């Protein structure tokens, strides 16, 4: 048993600060463990000894005989260090510090928290918290928490398969309570507060190894650790994360709450997409996705067939397919013909298939049309919509749908736009049949999209597909960088540093009679603005050009003129999540629209093309405005060359290729300028 | 009593096709009217006469003595024309045709439907439907419907203030059932099906006149009629619409369902925004907004203060403020200082204000901090977030919140992220206190945003602020259009049609020695591509230029050169919703990014500026790339001049000003080219 898994496997739990004083927080875990029938040893620790709610108490943790798997520390902040020492002394592998008064309060608290972590690490103790609400396993009835959720008389308490892990205890248990209200089955709820030692992400990773766990849901405030994210994704279990602080306002609020550092949210978005982790923006969405994660069916593609008893729901579903980034299946002619035999004339046999309310008088309509859709290879996912159907009608529909789901192995999600009082047994029937259900088509499709995100095939991204380049010297200039990039497979203009005016003229002649001359001056970042770039100089103009540029205090580079093309920027830099590769349309698109796309390295096959396609102005490369299409394939190769080249560079660098000119199709992409800076690792 | 209002005021209802055969649709309205205690006359019409469920039946509607306010027609399609004739003969003012088999089935049905409308109109009868599920008034217990919703034993049936009107009966009654499940109070639910005569929008307009009605919610498939939309908006009652068929896929589905014509969805978006009508994209959002419409408080501005017991909820709320297009209030220094006296040290006194879970032991925290926020003039809306609070704690919070809401007159919306089983009385307490509540901060903020949308001050847009220009001749060319625009206040380049090569040279000299020469050839649309525009010609070059251009077969226009600037497009055209004005960044921004914004005419003050600000590339006008800021004020004036000029033009025109060059600040905006086409009214 790993230390962390004591959160759900503990066979003995010490409650440090246990009391039977009514209303006291230190009473609650005792209450909960007793009420819900925890099978292990309950060890209340209270300096007064005696009993707590009839359970023999110990004056000190060190008095306890036998192993203690988990300690829950619920004493005031100033007494927490002593409690941690006791845990170390007693050989406890894991302690939850529920107490507040640490990093969330400012500098002093941050120092206090660092001290706790140091003590614990030295003593081989892992810590959850501080400033958290504890953890619960619905399966093993471990209730190391004071959440009011378990004080409610009517809280459902059954085994479950969904793992909820949240930095915010209030949101985590709040979300879990809403999940229970929806009839979902959380198996584990863990809050990790300030994430001082063990992080929420580590707990998720640990839970991904639990065989019964079918889905992992997390709420994070801190920027996630990329290595942990990767191993979590590699577990193969579906994961959805709600990461708050997305916006500027949210980021400021997060910083003041847990001191979380802001990250470039779009880099995180890209990373999660690369790893097949679903990102949601609200608790509701998290629960919608969780519901789909309870069931095992996964789509083999993004193509959706909608079958509906209401034309209106069908239209809403079609809108939602597009919003969710899925595709409406183009049904085969055979399917359409078969449906025409089945569907009433006032229905529709194209997708969305409207079987109309006639299904109420002829339930076989559902079976027959589902059979057609299940058999059509153009269908990966089925969304079944129905409105205001009452009890017996829902039952018939559920029977048809569950038969179809079993037969076809394709996920079916239900959009049932009708109150539960119309069909009180429907939720249980749908769950029994393995059919996630939602009140609206849009929500069903959001969940379907999540299923596709977690199941779409991903090539391994753990190892780059080739050797890297040596890192440039910190003061590497344009010629060194271009040489390095050329060695890595990139195209750079022909040319070199010239030795003087005469050499410059000779080289211009060699390069075809017109060339570019550039000043290479360390520290001169805005070369063009400083007059350091002369484009199109002739052999005759070369000596004067040389003189001007040399006067700027550095070397002079003479290069061939690149043909016309579309200007792009390409960059690679260290981010809080690892090295990130960026591509964007140059000039105005970058400056005015911030039109860039990102990927964490390493790239997987197809990533480079996808990055380019994601740009809002991508059409520009495809020959908009009557110009020839640009060589996007060459740009994609360049992205891959850059990705490989920088893979082993030490953290804290920024490489900017600006501009990269993408020539007409088949003619390549040329790096016209390159700059490199080394800094402390960026805080983003 | 207007004909339409019989849907909720009818004192006598005929059910044509009434039967007591168990399971028959024609039995349901009889069942419902009897069960729910309808106070008026129930008049079953059945050729066999006798009784239906104990109520004396009539063989024909024409046998009924006394007035019949409403007829519900539930016979097969082929018998509907006869039923309509009977209604006319009996002097019935309004009939609901529930029967299917009309426009939704294809051409034949469309003709049949047109025939019904013609008969009805000739006879002074208004029609709802066909292909609908009828109408219900919860206040007067009018149940002219066969919706299974009212067959459920446990359907709540209390008076209400929300009006739900839906083209789709299934979605409308489905949404109403979900509203009831949430504890909302629908007062009216009307389905209008194919909208053959009376439209859903007309019913909404009629309901807006009902004094008890506090909010109007609609589901539409057809493009709404702009005049009805305007009068609906002018009622002053808050309105939210779900218009499906937004996307390409959805539009195709809608066309096949009701034959709805696609509209440019962005034009509809603009129109609704102009009218202060909320647009939602899903049933869930419609209900979230409906809940806020139940209560009277309205914000005076978009500035939101968040008060939370959970840091996590606060961060989510801050993210959601930005997503919802609202602003996070910058609290006054006095407020922050006052909050510092109240909030515990591990809380936060900046917005979001985190009063922490300490409020559980000290409920006065809520009162005191709300007092501060209510008093701060930088606060228009308060979002109160709490998680997992159990019964008594929620009660205390509700008491504090309702006191604050009453005192401050500022809307307070609650995000209570916790299951109802934790605090079973909370929904009723919150409703009693007039506090709309939502399970997540994001949903509370979406509703808050809707409240701001319906209450933000709008200047009347019913009358344009000046005289229009005469419509151009159908074959008006560039010179005529420019003259017209100049007369309307726009700036156009100095110049004129020249009489020959010599005149051209003379004019170039007059215009400063360099000018633009253009061919003016009827039907030559792509002038530049055809070599019809020569820029920067000198006096010497003028004769040759004249010759070249004249050879294209038309006149030659010589104009002064415009200074450098940002190129834009401006257009006005007839759309399905009325005349729409468009502005966009020119060239690549239009072609690659489709970066345009729209307004229906007439413009209100500020609209022109807002249109420009909405462009994604608006920064380009503000002096991006180190260039001078452009004269956006002049561009805004141009938009207003164009809007006034075209106001009386007959439908079916398109005016394109492309490009318009916006010069540097203070220097104006010049219409460089203008084209005009007249066509049949566009289907978009």
Rounded-to-integer distance, Cα B621 and Cα B664, Å? 9
User: Do residues A617 and A589 lie in contact, with contact meaning Cβ atoms separated by under 8 Å?
Assistant: yes
Place of tokens 């299946």: A329
Cβ-nearest to B105 among A101, A313, A346? A346
Structure tokens at B443: 């949903």
Q: What is the pLDDT of residue A159?
A: 96
Number of C-beta neighbours around residue A54 at 10 A: 8
Q: What is the pLDDT of residue A590?
A: 77
User: What is chain B's mean pLDDT, rounded?
Assistant: 92
Q: What is the pLDDT of residue A203?
A: 98
- Using a CB-CB cut-off of 8 Å, the residues of chain A touching B109 are 346
| A167 CA: distance to closest CA in chain B (Å) | 8
Q: Say yes or no for a CB contact (<8 Å) between B346 and A104.
A: yes
Per-residue pLDDT at B659 exceeds 50: yes
- Using a CB-CB cut-off of 8 Å, the residues of chain A touching B148 are 388-390, 393, 422
Q: Say yes or no for a CB contact (<8 Å) between B442 and A318.
A: no
- Using a CB-CB cut-off of 8 Å, the residues of chain A touching B356 are 100
- Domain B566-678 sits in CATH 3.30.470.20: yes
pLDDT in tens, A86-124: 999 999 999 999 999 999 888 999 999 999 999 999 999
> B259 pLDDT band (50/70/90 cuts)?
very low
| B214 CA: distance to closest CA in chain A (Å) | 23
Cβ-nearest to A319 among B175, B250, B617? B250
Structure tokens at B392: 């008594």
Q: Say yes or no for a CB contact (<8 Å) between A166 and B312.
A: yes
Rounded-to-integer distance, Cα B328 and Cα A135, Å? 33
Q: What is the mean pLDDT of residues B240-266?
A: 76
Q: What is the pLDDT of residue B257?
A: 56
Q: Say yes or no for a CB contact (<8 Å) between B315 and A250.
A: yes
Pairing mode of beta strands B437-438, B495-497: unpaired
Q: Say yes or no for a CB contact (<8 Å) between B319 and A625.
A: no
Cβ-nearest to A318 among B170, B250, B593? B250
The superfamily in CATH containing domain B494-560 is: ATP-grasp fold, A domain (3.30.1490.20)
> B247 pLDDT band (50/70/90 cuts)?
confident
Q: Say yes or no for a CB contact (<8 Å) between A248 and B322.
A: yes
Q: What is the pLDDT of residue A625?
A: 61
Per-residue pLDDT at B357 exceeds 50: yes
Rounded-to-integer distance, Cα B124 and Cα B126, Å? 7
> A463 pLDDT band (50/70/90 cuts)?
low
pLDDT in tens, A584-629: 988 777 777 788 999 999 998 889 999 999 998 898 898 866 678 9
- Domains A6-292 and A566-678 equal at CATH topology level: no
Residue of B316, B427, B439 to mutate for A, most A C-beta atoms under 10 A = B316
Q: Say yes or no for a CB contact (<8 Å) between B417 and A174.
A: yes
The pTM of this model reads 0.94
Break chain A into its structural domains and give their ranges: 6-292, 295-455, 494-560, 566-678
pLDDT in tens, A135-169: 999 999 999 999 999 988 788 899 999 999 999 99
Task: Report the CATH number of the A6-292 domain.
Answer: 3.40.50.261
| B366 CA: distance to closest CA in chain A (Å) | 17
Q: What is the mean pLDDT of residues B461-482?
A: 86
pLDDT in tens, A264-287: 788 999 999 999 999 999 999 999
Per-residue pLDDT at A684 exceeds 80: no
Of the CATH numbers 3.50.50.60, 3.40.50.1820, 3.40.50.720, 1.25.50.10, which one belongs to the domain with range B6-192+246-272?
3.40.50.720
Residue of B106, B166, B174 to mutate for A, most A C-beta atoms under 10 A = B174
Rounded-to-integer distance, Cα A151 and Cα A164, Å? 19
> A259 pLDDT band (50/70/90 cuts)?
very low
Q: What is the mean pLDDT of residues B369-396?
A: 92
Per-residue pLDDT at A398 exceeds 70: yes
pLDDT in tens, A476-507: 999 999 999 999 999 999 999 999 999 999 99
Q: What is the mean pLDDT of residues B271-286?
A: 96
Q: What is the pLDDT of residue A683?
A: 45
Structure tokens at A428: 């249980």
Q: What is the pLDDT of residue B256?
A: 63
State the DSSP string of A619-684: GGGGTGGGPPPB-HHHHHHHHHHHHHHTTTPPSSEEEEEEEEEE-BTTS-EEE--EEEEE-SPP--
Closest C-alpha among B130, B219, B235 to residue B454: B235
pLDDT in tens, B556-592: 999 999 999 999 999 999 998 999 999 998 877 777 7
pLDDT in tens, B590-626: 777 788 999 999 998 889 999 999 998 898 898 866 6
List the single residue in A with minimal CA-CA distance to B152: A422
Closest C-alpha among A610, A592, A613 to residue B595: A592
Rounded-to-integer distance, Cα A537 and Cα A531, Å? 14
Cβ-nearest to B244 among A105, A151, A316? A316
- Using a CB-CB cut-off of 8 Å, the residues of chain A touching B221 are 312, 315
Pairing mode of beta strands A186-191, A134-137: antiparallel
User: What is chain A's mean pLDDT, rounded?
Assistant: 92
Cβ-nearest to B443 among A284, A311, A354? A284
Q: Say yes or no for a CB contact (<8 Å) between A282 and B593.
A: no
Q: Say yes or no for a CB contact (<8 Å) between A313 and B171.
A: yes
- Between B66 and A260, the more confident residue is B66
Closest C-alpha among A193, A109, A105 to residue A147: A193
Q: What is the mean pLDDT of residues A292-296?
A: 96
3-state SS assignment for residue A528: coil
Read off the DSSP letter of residue B514: E
- Using a CB-CB cut-off of 8 Å, the residues of chain A touching B352 are 253
- Using a CB-CB cut-off of 8 Å, the residues of chain B touching A316 are 171, 242, 244, 250, 282-283
- Using a CB-CB cut-off of 8 Å, the residues of chain B touching A258 are 311
Per-residue pLDDT at A195 exceeds 60: yes
> A460 pLDDT band (50/70/90 cuts)?
low
User: Do residues B417 and B341 lie in contact, with contact meaning Cβ atoms separated by under 8 Å?
Assistant: no
Q: Say yes or no for a CB contact (<8 Å) between B387 and A616.
A: no
Rounded-to-integer distance, Cα B350 and Cα B343, Å? 10
pLDDT in tens, A316-336: 999 999 999 999 999 999 999
Q: What is the pLDDT of residue A5?
A: 97
Read off the DSSP letter of residue B435: -
Per-residue pLDDT at A578 exceeds 50: yes
pLDDT in tens, B86-119: 999 999 999 999 999 999 888 999 999 999 999 9
Cβ-nearest to B318 among A104, A109, A247? A247
Cβ-nearest to A388 among B148, B253, B311? B148
3-state SS assignment for residue B100: coil
Q: What is the value of ipTM here, to two decimals?
A: 0.93
Residue B338 dihedral angles phi and psi, to the nearest 5°: -65, -40
| A104 CA: distance to closest CA in chain B (Å) | 6
Per-residue pLDDT at B6 exceeds 90: yes
Q: What is the pLDDT of residue A45?
A: 98
What is the C-alpha R_g of chain A?
31
Per-residue pLDDT at A352 exceeds 50: yes
pLDDT in tens, A648-681: 999 999 999 999 999 999 999 999 999 999 975 4
3-state SS assignment for residue A155: coil
- Using a CB-CB cut-off of 8 Å, the residues of chain A touching B249 are 318-319, 321-322, 328
Task: Report the CATH number of the A295-455 domain.
Answer: 3.40.50.261
Per-residue pLDDT at B503 exceeds 80: yes
Q: B625: number of CA atoms within 13 Å, CB side?
A: 18
Rounded-to-integer distance, Cα A414 and Cα A331, Å? 20
Place of tokens 């919860």: B138
Per-residue pLDDT at A313 exceeds 60: yes
Q: What is the mean pLDDT of residues B20-37?
A: 94
| B222 CA: distance to closest CA in chain A (Å) | 11
Cβ-nearest to B313 among A149, A170, A439? A170
| A327 CA: distance to closest CA in chain B (Å) | 9
Residue of B315, B325, B339, B445 to mutate for A, most A C-beta atoms under 10 A = B315
């Amino acid at each position: 048993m790993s230390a962390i898994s004591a959160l759900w496997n503990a066979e003995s739990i010490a409650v440090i600060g246990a009391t039977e004083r009514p209303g006291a927080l230190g009473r609650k875990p005792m209450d909960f463990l007793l009420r819900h029938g925890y099978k292990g040893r309950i060890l209340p620790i209270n300096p007064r000894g005696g009993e707590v709610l009839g359970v023999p108490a110990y004056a000190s943790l060190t008095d306890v005989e036998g192993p203690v798997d988990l300690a829950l520390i619920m004493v005031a902040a100033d007494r927490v260090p002593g409690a941690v020492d006791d845990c170390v002394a007693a050989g406890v592998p894991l302690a939850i510090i529920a107490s507040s008064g640490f990093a969330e309060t400012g500098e002093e608290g941050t120092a206090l928290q660092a001290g706790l972590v140091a003590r614990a690490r030295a003593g081989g103790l892992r810590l959850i918290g501080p400033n958290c609400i504890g953890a619960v396993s619905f399966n093993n009835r471990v209730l190391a928490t004071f959440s009011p959720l378990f004080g409610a008389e009517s809280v459902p308490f059954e085994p479950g398969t969904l793992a909820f892990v949240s930095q915010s205890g209030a949101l985590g248990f709040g979300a879990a309570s809403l999940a229970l209200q929806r009839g979902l089955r959380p198996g584990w709820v863990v809050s990790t507060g300030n994430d001082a030692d063990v992080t929420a992400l580590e707990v998720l990773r640990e839970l991904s190894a639990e065989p019964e766990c079918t889905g992992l849901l997390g709420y994070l405030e801190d920027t996630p650790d990329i290595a942990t994210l990767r191993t979590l994704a590699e577990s193969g279990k579906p994961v959805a994360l709600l990461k708050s602080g997305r916006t500027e306002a949210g980021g400021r609020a997060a910083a003041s709450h847990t001191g979380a550092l802001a990250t470039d949210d779009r880099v995180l978005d890209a990373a999660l997409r690369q790893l097949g982790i679903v990102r949601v923006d609200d608790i509701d969405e998290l629960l919608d996705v969780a519901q789909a994660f309870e069931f095992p069916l996964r789509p083999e593609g993004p193509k959706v067939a909608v079958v509906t008893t209401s034309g209106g729901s069908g239209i809403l579903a079609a809108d939602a397919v597009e919003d969710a980034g899925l595709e409406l299946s183009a049904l085969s002619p055979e399917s359409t013909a078969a449906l025409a035999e089945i569907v009433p004339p006032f229905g529709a046999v194209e997708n969305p298939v409207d079987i109309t309310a006639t299904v109420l008088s002829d339930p076989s309509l559902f079976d027959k049309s589902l059979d057609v859709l299940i058999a059509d290879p153009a269908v990966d996912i089925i969304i079944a919509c129905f409105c205001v159907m009452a009890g017996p009608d829902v039952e018939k529909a559920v029977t048809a749908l569950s038969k179809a789901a079993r037969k076809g192995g394709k996920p079916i999600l239900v959009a049932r736009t009708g109150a539960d009082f119309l069909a009180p047994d429907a939720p249980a029937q749908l769950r029994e049949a393995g059919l996630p259900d939602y009140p609206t088509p849009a929500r069903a499709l959001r969940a379907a999209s999540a299923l596709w995100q977690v199941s779409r095939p991903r090539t391994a991204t753990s190892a780059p597909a080739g050797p890297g380049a040596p890192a440039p010297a910190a003061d590497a200039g344009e010629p060194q960088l271009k040489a390095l990039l050329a060695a890595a497979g990139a195209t750079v203009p022909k040319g070199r540093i010239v030795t003087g005016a005469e050499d410059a003229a000779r080289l211009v002649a060699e390069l075809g009679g017109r060339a570019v001359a550039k000043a290479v001056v360390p520290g001169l970042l805005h070369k063009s603005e400083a007059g350091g770039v002369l484009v199109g100089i002739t052999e005759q103009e070369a000596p004067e050009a040389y003189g001007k540029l040399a006067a700027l205090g550095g070397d002079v580079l003479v290069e061939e003129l690149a043909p016309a093309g579309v200007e792009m920027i390409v960059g690679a830099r260290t981010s809080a999540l690892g090295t990130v590769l960026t591509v964007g349309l140059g000039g105005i698109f970058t400056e005015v629209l911030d039109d860039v796309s990102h990927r964490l390295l390493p790239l997987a096959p197809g990533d480079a093309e996808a990055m380019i396609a994601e740009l809002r102005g991508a059409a520009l490369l495809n020959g908009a405005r009557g110009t020839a299409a640009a060589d996007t394939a060459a740009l994609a190769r360049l992205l891959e060359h850059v990705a490989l080249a920088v893979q082993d560079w030490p953290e804290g660098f920024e490489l900017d290729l600006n501009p990269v000119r993408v020539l007409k199709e088949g003619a390549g992409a040329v790096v016209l300028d390159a700059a490199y800076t080394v800094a402390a690792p960026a805080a983003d």
